A = this chain, B = another copy of it.
Amino acid sequence: MRQITYAEALKEVMSQEIKANENVFILGEDIGIYGGAFGVTNGMESELGRDKVLSTPISEAAISGVAVGAALTGMRPILELQFSDFITIAMDQIVNQAAKLRYMNGGKGSIPMVVRTPGGSGAGFAAQHSQSLEAWMTHIPGLKVVQPSTPYDAKGLFKAALDDDNPVIFYEHKLLYGIRGEVPEETYSIPLGKADIKREGSDVTVVATSIMVHRALQAADQLKKEGISVEVIDPRTLVPLDIDTIVNSVKKTNRAVVVYEAVQRGGYGAEIASLINESEAFDYLDAPVTRLGGKAVPIPYNPNLEKKAVPQVEDIVNAVKSTLVTLAK
């Protein structure tokens, strides 16, 4: 099958959906002729017209609210927030409005909108442009949270997100935009709430999200050489979360490491770890569930420090090994 990048997959599915459904449009800062800060919407304006691709002023609060109001009245807007750090300015509309309106209305109306936004470090953009704040969103009833790790998943999950009648926060990753993978040309949907076993293994389960899926797979390659068989699970969507796939895996491997780029403290990895511990897998655990998340520091500018701030392949290798040497109870 043809290979395209993660960014191309997103552009393709957005264009296909905009053409297929007159209610779909995209709005955001610099998404027109500039093509967006990461080039995702490159060429969309000229292909689809300014009516479908709305470049906005630098007004994150208003444009997120515009998405809410448009969704509430029958459109299906896609909002591109240029960096996920800027969600700090859009929080009222996303958290107090989008997430809650339907419930507050006693179920009437719907808010079909997708907020696409890139998170993550590794590009040298420093503390205000490198955060991974998806945990905030998972904490808010009413918001679905998606974190695709591959071009294939990006396209399929985006379609599902857009088809959903509720607000979905769709976290992309700056360093993933350029990765390539097989992606069908026609649209397809990957249901929200279905984890993907990215690699099967028997000694330990690594649950990894977004770019950490790739690092976990590399770690698994290395560990294989040492005779350690790692199963890598990519939840793909944090809310809803496919905990069953994770629990079944842990029951098989008896050990789990949860890897995420976000700051470990208060991150969603704690939720995943807690759910494993609270599940029937608890009795199968031969070691405590290990979390491996980002350090409790703002992302520094210096590239060496920046790398050290979040899990790298060798950190995952070490975490897996540590969990394996822990004595069974």
Instruction: List residues of A whose CB falls within 8 A of some B CB.
Output: 61, 85-89, 91-92, 95-96, 99-100, 103-104, 126-128, 133, 135-136, 138-142, 239, 262-263, 265-271, 273-274, 277-278, 282-283, 288-291, 295-298, 300, 329
Contacts and interface: CB of A to CB of B under 8 A. Distances in A.
B128 A262 contact: no
Nearest to A132: B139
A284 to B, nearest CB: 10
A231 to B, nearest CB: 20
Nearest to A297: B141
Nearest to A136: B136
The CB with the most chain B CB atoms within 10 A, among A92, A100, A265, A270, is that of A270
A288 to B, nearest CB: 4
A158 to B, nearest CB: 23
The CB with the most chain B CB atoms within 10 A, among A92, A99, A126, A289, is that of A92
Contacts of A103: 127, 297-298, 300
A216 to B, nearest CB: 19
Nearest to A91: B88
A288 B288 CA distance: 11
Contacts of A127: 96, 100, 103-104
Nearest to A270: B270
Contacts of A271: 265-266, 270
A177 B278 CA distance: 34
A262 B104 contact: no
B142 A133 contact: no
B277 A288 contact: yes
B85 A138 contact: no
B288 A139 contact: no
Contacts of A273: 270, 273-274, 277
Given A104-B127, A273-B273, 7 more contacts: A89-B92, A136-B139, A139-B263, A142-B298, A274-B277, A277-B277, A329-B329
B139 A265 contact: yes
A309 to B, nearest CB: 9
Nearest to A329: B283
B270 A128 contact: no
A278 B269 CA distance: 13
B274 A278 contact: no
Contacts of A266: 135-136, 138-139, 268, 271
A153 to B, nearest CB: 22
A296 B88 contact: no
A235 to B, nearest CB: 13
A278 B288 contact: yes
A300 B128 CA distance: 35
A62 to B, nearest CB: 13
A239 B92 CA distance: 24
A64 B262 CA distance: 25
A326 B126 CA distance: 47
